[in-house]
Amino acid sequence: MLNAKKIVVGITGGIAAYKTILLIRLLKKANAEVRVVMTPAAEAFVTPLTLQAISGNAVATSLLDPQAELAMGHIELAKWADMVVIAPATADFIARLRVGMGNDLLSTLCLATSAPIFIAPAMNQQMYKRSITQQNLQNLVNEQGVLCIEPESGEQACGDTGVGRMAEPETIFEFLTDYVKTAQDLQNITVTITAGPTQEAIDPVRYISNHSSGKMGFAIAKAFAERGAKVNLIAGAVKLDTPQNVKRFDTLSAIAMEQKALELAQQSDIFIGCAAVADYRVKEVATQKIKKTDDSDEMTLTLVKNPDIISNVAHLAQNRPFVVGFAAETQDLQKYAKSKLQRKNLDLICANDVSNGQVFNSDQNCLHLFSQKSDKILPLADKSKLAQTLVNEIIKLYKEKQ
């Protein structure tokens, strides 16, 4: 279950830190990739060198370490993580996490990540019982979606007996695998997604294209795959890594993309057209490089209309999937998006305002969703977070339609 999962293990200053070494061994045995982040107090209990040897990666300890920031900066680490597991989590760290402080590397990373955060509290039983600690924990779990691996009862290092001992490494490991297992609720769903720009050849060395980065489509593919869906990703001219457990098909032209899309859409439950397909292609692609001529300052290219891929998928007479489109608009967002919803026969359209030119290539986006019956705004967020919310919305509408 944890195979190839990227896990940040955060260690804060408690005696239970020695047990985290065993947790990391279990994670490594399960083929997870582990990067350890320690608070300064944690270093009083276990050494970075030990954790480096166990995790197989350099250990990050300081927010202001120029060397570490050069290697993998804190924001990069926050984005890298599929899961952030803080074990042990002290009362102090829990309090700081609750109020959103960013006064060390680990707390800053928690603020910056969109991955689920798990905490394994460990502290003296009286500190654990204390109402402020309980309030902090309740807020984190109920309001902020943090997952808490409950501490156990028993004899404590300080001599007290009561609840506050960190859960055993095996228990934490099981909690994480169970989480991944139950998060796989879309195993019976097949999704096909187009992403990125098409490239329309002019001659063997030149082409017409656009500024789409493909990031949104790739983020949606990742979000579906993380929930166990079978994902086909038809990529245009995109230089992005393929997300885990996603089947990628590289295409360049709209014609090639359409061919693959029609083939895969008919085997899919859901089709999402995220690609920025060129509206036109060059009528006759030159077989040799076109040469500059001296007799004229102008040259003319004749363009012909490309097929509308998503519209053709949405008008399939047989095996039509649930179809989701995108609309990047610079004006009259609602009017144009709704008319595309009708004209292209879509089930849902996700509109975004690109008038300020900040969506293409950006890591953030916000969307206005329109279906036949409803509309909803998904506020500005990291594309990865937004993709997770969007998957929920798509699944809700898809299930309503069944």
Give the nearest distance from C-beta 36 to ligand C5P in angstroms.
41
Tokens of 234: 């038809």
Q: Does 42 bind ligand C5P (CB under 6 A)?
A: no
Q: Does 326 bind ligand C5P (CB under 6 A)?
A: yes
- Tell me which of 340, 368, 383, 385 binds ligand C5P, using CB under 6 A: 340
What does the alpha-carbon distance between residue 375 and residue 193 come to, in Å, rounded to a whole number? 22
Tokens of 92: 């102090």
Residue 321 labelled as part of a binding site: no
Nearer to ligand C5P, 134 or 319 (CB): 319
Q: Does 327 bind ligand C5P (CB under 6 A)?
A: yes
Per-residue binder mask for ligand C5P (CB under 6 A), 263-302, x = binder: ----------xxx-x-------------------------
Contact 11, 17 (CB under 8 A): yes
165-194 positions binding ligand C5P, by CB under 6 A: 194
Cβ count within 10 A of residue 72: 15
Q: Which residues contact 244 (CB under 8 A, 6 or more apart)?
A: 4, 222, 225, 226
Give the rounded distance of the alpha carbon of 244 from its chain centre: 11
For residue 30, what is the DSSP state? T
189-208 positions binding ligand C5P, by CB under 6 A: 194
Contact 2, 27 (CB under 8 A): yes
Q: Does 35 bind ligand C5P (CB under 6 A)?
A: no
Q: Which listed range, 56-64, 110-118, 319-327, 357-365, lies at the site for ligand C5P (CB under 6 A)?
A: 319-327
Applying CB under 6 A, the site for ligand C5P has a residue count of 14
Give which of 144, 152, 154 is closest to 172, Cα–Cα: 152
Q: Does 251 bind ligand C5P (CB under 6 A)?
A: no
First to last CA, the chain: 30
What does the alpha-carbon distance between residue 151 and residue 167 come to, in Å, rounded to a whole number? 5
Residue 283 labelled as part of a binding site: no
The b/e string for 192-210 (b: 16+ C-beta within 10 A; e otherwise) is bbbbbbbbbebeeeebbeb
Give the nearest distance from C-beta 202 to ligand C5P in angstroms.
18
Q: Would residue 158 show up in a list of annotated catalytic residues for this protein? A: yes
Q: Does 306 bind ligand C5P (CB under 6 A)?
A: yes
Q: Does 234 bind ligand C5P (CB under 6 A)?
A: no
What does the alpha-carbon distance between residue 32 and residue 8 come to, in Å, rounded to a whole number? 10
Residue 326 labelled as part of a binding site: yes
Residue 289 labelled as part of a binding site: yes
- Tell me which of 225, 233, 309, 369 binds ligand C5P, using CB under 6 A: 309
Half-sphere exposure of 2 (CA within 13 A, CB side): 26
Element (H, E) at 315: none
For residue 168, what is the DSSP state? P
Catalytic residue among 110, 148, 158, 350: 158
Residue 309 labelled as part of a binding site: yes
Give which of 337, 75, 376, 390 is closest to 216, Cα–Cα: 390
Q: Does 254 bind ligand C5P (CB under 6 A)?
A: yes
Q: Does 213 bind ligand C5P (CB under 6 A)?
A: no
| Contacting residues toward ligand C5P, per CB under 6 A | 194, 254, 273-275, 277, 306, 308-310, 325-327, 340
Binding-site annotation: residue ranges: 273-275, 279, 289, 307-310, 326, 340, 344
Catalytic positions, written as ranges: 158
Binding-site annotation: residue ranges for CTP: 273-275, 279, 289, 307-310, 326, 340, 344
